[in-house]
A and B are shown apart, each in its own frame.
Chain A
Amino acid sequence: MEKGAEIIVRTCARVRASEEVLVVTDDERLPIARAIHEAAAAAGARVVTVVLPPRNMDNEEPPVTAAAAMCAAAVVIMPVTHSLSHTRATREAIKEGARVLSMAAFTPRQLESGGLFVDFPSRKPLCDRMAERLTDAHTVRVTNPSGTDLTFNVQGRRGNSHCCILDGPGFTAVPNIEANISPVEGTTEGILVADGSIPNYGIGVLDDLVTFEISKGFVRSISGGAQASFLKELLRAQADPWVYNIAQLAIGLNPECREFTGEMLNDEGVNGTIHVGIGTSANLGGDVQAKTHFDVVIREPTVVVDGDVVIERGLILEEAKVETTDDRE
Chain B
Amino acid sequence: MTVNEIQMVRGARKLLEVCAQVQSGEEVLIVSDDPSVGIARAIQTAAREMGAEPLVTYIVPRARDGQEPPAAIAAAMKAAGVFLSPVGKSITHTRAVKEAVEAGSRGLVLTQWREDMLVRGGIEADFPAIAPICKKLAAAFGRGRRMRVTTRAGTDLEMDIEGRRGNALTCIVGPGEFSPVPTVEANVSPVEGTAWGRIVADVSVPYVGIGVLREPILAEVSEGMITSILGGEQAQLLQSTLDGFGDPMVYNIAEYGMGLNPMARVTGCMLEDEAVLKTAHIGIGTSITLGGTVKAACHYDLLMWEPTVEIDGVVVALHGELSL
Which of B8-16, B72-80, B166-174, B244-252 lies at the binding interface? B72-80
**Is the beta-carbon distance between B60 and A68 smaller than 8 angstroms?**
no
Q: Identify which of B44, B53, B58, B80 contacts A48 (C-beta below 8 A).
A: B58
29 A–B pairs (Cβ distance < 8 Å), ordered by A? A22-B72, A34-B35, A41-B60, A48-B57, A48-B72, A49-B57, A50-B56, A50-B57, A50-B58, A50-B72, A51-B55, A52-B55, A53-B48, A53-B53, A53-B54, A53-B55, A64-B80, A65-B79, A66-B76, A67-B79, A68-B80, A69-B75, A69-B76, A70-B72, A72-B72, A72-B76, A73-B70, A73-B71, A73-B72
Q: How far is the CB of B210 from chain A (nearest CB, A)?
A: 28
Name the CB-closest residue of B to A68. B79
Known: A20-B71, A53-B53. A64 touches B58 (CB 8 A): no
- Chain A residues closer than 8 Å to B72, beta-carbon distance: 20, 22, 48, 50, 69-70, 72-73
- Chain B residues closer than 8 Å to A276, beta-carbon distance: none
Known: A65-B29, A69-B76. A20 touches B57 (CB 8 A): no
Known: A48-B73, A50-B76, A71-B75. A63 touches B57 (CB 8 A): no
Asked if A12 is at the interface of the complex by the 8 Å CB criterion, the answer is: no
Chain A 43-59 near chain B by CB (<8 Å), digits 1 or 0: 00011111111000000
Q: Identify which of B60, B71, B76 contacts A65 (C-beta below 8 A).
A: B76
- The CA of A52 and the CA of B78, in the complex, are separated in Å by 17
**Is the beta-carbon distance between A20 and B70 smaller than 8 angstroms?**
yes
Interface residues of B in 57-89 (CB under 8 A from A): 57-60, 70-76, 78-80
- The CA of A48 and the CA of B71, in the complex, are separated in Å by 10
Asked if A37 is at the interface of the complex by the 8 Å CB criterion, the answer is: yes
Known: A53-B55, A64-B79, A65-B27. A46 touches B60 (CB 8 A): yes
Q: How far is the CB of A176 from chain B (nearest CB, A)?
A: 26
Known: A53-B54, A65-B29. A72 touches B59 (CB 8 A): no
- The CA of A22 and the CA of B80, in the complex, are separated in Å by 17
Q: Identify which of A37, A46, A68 contacts B58 (C-beta below 8 A).
A: A37
- The CA of A199 and the CA of B27, in the complex, are separated in Å by 29
**Is the beta-carbon distance between A65 and B80 smaller than 8 angstroms?**
yes
**Is the beta-carbon distance between A69 and B35 smaller than 8 angstroms?**
no
Q: How far is the CB of B216 from chain A (nearest CB, A)?
A: 40
Query: Interface size bucket, B side?
Result: 20 to 34
**Residues of A bordering B, CB below 8 Å:** 20, 22, 34, 37, 41, 46-53, 63-73
Question: Count the A-B residue pairs with Cβ separation under 8 angstroms: how many?
Answer: 73
**Is the beta-carbon distance between B79 and A49 smaller than 8 angstroms?**
no
**Is the beta-carbon distance between B71 and A72 smaller than 8 angstroms?**
yes
- Chain A residues closer than 8 Å to B48, beta-carbon distance: 53
Query: Which one of B48, B53, B75 has the greatest number of beta carbons of chain A within 10 Å?
Result: B75
Interface residues of B in 4-58 (CB under 8 A from A): 27, 29, 35, 44, 48, 53-58
- Chain B residues closer than 8 Å to A52, beta-carbon distance: 55
Name the CB-closest residue of A to B53. A53
- Chain A residues closer than 8 Å to B53, beta-carbon distance: 53, 63
- Chain B residues closer than 8 Å to A34, beta-carbon distance: 35
Q: Identify which of A37, A49, A72 contacts B74 (C-beta below 8 A).
A: A72
Known: A48-B58, A52-B55. A63 touches B75 (CB 8 A): no
- Name 17 extra pairs, CB < 8 A, besides A34-B35, A51-B44, A65-B76: A20-B71, A22-B72, A48-B60, A51-B57, A52-B55, A63-B55, A64-B27, A64-B80, A66-B55, A66-B76, A68-B75, A69-B73, A69-B75, A69-B79, A70-B72, A72-B72, A73-B71
- The CA of A53 and the CA of B30, in the complex, are separated in Å by 12
Name the CB-closest residue of A to B83. A65
- Chain A residues closer than 8 Å to B71, beta-carbon distance: 20, 72-73
Q: How far is the CB of B67 from chain A (nearest CB, A)?
A: 11
Query: Which one of B29, B44, B72 has the greatest number of beta carbons of chain A within 10 Å?
Result: B72
- Chain A residues closer than 8 Å to B27, beta-carbon distance: 63-65
- Chain A residues closer than 8 Å to B35, beta-carbon distance: 34
- The CA of A309 and the CA of B53, in the complex, are separated in Å by 50
- The CA of A41 and the CA of B35, in the complex, are separated in Å by 15
**Is the beta-carbon distance between B75 and A48 smaller than 8 angstroms?**
no
Name the CB-closest residue of A to B59. A48
**Is the beta-carbon distance between A50 and B79 smaller than 8 angstroms?**
no
- Chain B residues closer than 8 Å to A63, beta-carbon distance: 27, 53, 55
**Is the beta-carbon distance between A46 and B29 smaller than 8 angstroms?**
no
**Is the beta-carbon distance between A50 and B55 smaller than 8 angstroms?**
yes
Name the CB-closest residue of B to A64. B79
- The CA of A68 and the CA of B55, in the complex, are separated in Å by 12
Known: A65-B79, A69-B75, A69-B76. A48 touches B70 (CB 8 A): yes
- The CA of A67 and the CA of B76, in the complex, are separated in Å by 8
Query: Which one of A50, A70, A73 has the greatest number of beta carbons of chain B within 10 Å?
Result: A50
- Chain B residues closer than 8 Å to A50, beta-carbon distance: 55-58, 72, 76
Q: How far is the CB of A169 from chain B (nearest CB, A)?
A: 16
- The CA of A49 and the CA of B76, in the complex, are separated in Å by 12
Q: How far is the CB of B106 from chain A (nearest CB, A)?
A: 13
- Chain B residues closer than 8 Å to A69, beta-carbon distance: 57, 72-73, 75-76, 79
Query: Which one of A46, A47, A70, A71 has the greatest number of beta carbons of chain B within 10 Å?
Result: A46
- The CA of A42 and the CA of B166, in the complex, are separated in Å by 45
